Amino acid sequence: MPITVIGPQPLACEARDLIQQIITSKRARTTQRVRDIPPHVVPFVKARYSAFVEAADGGDVELSLKSVQREVTVSGDREVVLRVIEAIKSTIAAVTASLTSVKIQLPKRQHRLLIGNAVGEILASSKCVVTVPPTEDASEEIVIWGQAEDLGNGVTAVMTRANSQYIHEFRLPGPIALSRQLLTYIHHTGYARTLAAANPAVSIFTPELSAKSNASVLNVDLIGEKALVDAAVRQVSELMGKLIGATKDVPVDWLVHKVIQGKHAKRYSPFFPRHPHLIHFSRCRIRQLHESHNVLLFFPPESEEQSSVLLVYDPTSPSASPSPVEKAKNVEEAEKELIKWAKDAADVKSQVIAVEKKWHSAVIGKGGTTLNA
């Protein structure tokens, strides 16, 4: 793999020598991975971490298990890494060969209680592992894995956990087109985090945005003690009431979304630093749109190539009106402005300039300063 060093010759030579020193020092070390571990085996591997450390026999080694990616990474002295990798592979083979399974049906909402920390707790109490289908999968079938003699305890532990808390499925108001708009608002404003902060004893689960296009029903699941969940449900209901009649999808060619954002917005609002698709800007025309009409604009991710922009009459603003007529009027005025911006942007042309890749960083500049200038 060639490495190119660019700079004044004396400094480039010095950098080359430093790189060679690093390569020389690292040759005695290595990094190896065990990938594609079966999902039901991952928790068993995680539980045997101490055994893998013992296999290193005091050697210099670092272990990292990524449960989601289903892989273990081992770095350190070459001989030690090889020993640990062999121990991991042997464990996976032995566990896989010894496990059997039982399948049971559970309502989809109870699957929420069988993921995350629950997997480790069930394993610790019953020596069994439970796997559930992805949230977007309609299947209600779960699988319990373990030694044949442990499966009875495994089923008991799973059912105890599944029935340990009250679960409320809050269906987002329909029709489905409206439900999708409400889900978009919930995601991009981080409302689930806000609600969880106000109700720390209640767990909040919302559907992924990627699931909204195929779903016929969208639910927000709230889990905890019934009295606490009921209080959180009232807050969600109150928000939904404020959002009814306050949302609208406006058709705008996705190719001009970036142009509109760049032309009418100078920088992101500091109030929403983690939500780049929530276009609520300060010192710009889009911010003025919010100030004059109390309307927020939500642009979809460019990768979706979705030719629409969601307008929402901001329910959190102190000046927000409860009148459906007032909401609709302001959304309509904001829609006119957005359509005008889209027409202006439609005349924008683009041109490709060929520049050697090695100079791209220089053209862009630190933090984009040169390109912006």
The pLDDT, as a whole number, for residue 301 is 85
Q: What is the three-state SS of the chain?
A: CCCCCCCCHHHHHHHHHHHHHHHHHHCCEEEEEECCCCCCCHHHHHHCHHHHHHHCCCCCEEEEEECCCCEEEEEEEHHHHHHHHHHHHHHHHHHHHHCEEEEEECCHHHHHHHCCHHHHHHHHHHCCEEECCCCCCCCCEEEEEECHHHHHHHHHHHHHHHCCCEEEEEECCCCHHHHHHHHHHHHHCCHHHHHHHHCCCCEEECCCHHHCCCCCCCEEEEEECHHHHHHHHHHHHHHHHHHCCCEEEECCCHHHHHHHHHHHCCCECCCCCCCCCEECECCCHHHHHHHHHCEEEECCCHHHCCCCEEEEECCCCCCCCCCHHHHHHHHHHHHHHHHHHHHHHCCCCCCCCCCCHHHHHHHHCHHHHHHHC
Question: What pTM, to 2 d.p., does this model score?
Answer: 0.66
Distance CA 89, CA 42 (A): 12
User: In the chain, which residues have pLDDT < 50?
Assistant: 266-283
The pLDDT of residue 210 is: 75
Is 290:296 a contact under the CB 8 Å cutoff? Answer: yes
pLDDT of residue 195: 95
The whole-angstrom distance between residue 121's C-alpha and the CA centroid of its chain comes to: 24
Q: Could you report the per-residue pLDDT of 25-60, keeping only the tens digit for each?
A: 766 788 899 999 999 999 999 999 989 988 888 888
> Can you give the pLDDT at residue 273?
37
Q: Residue 6: helix, strand or coil by DSSP?
A: coil
Question: What is the model's pLDDT at position 254?
Answer: 84
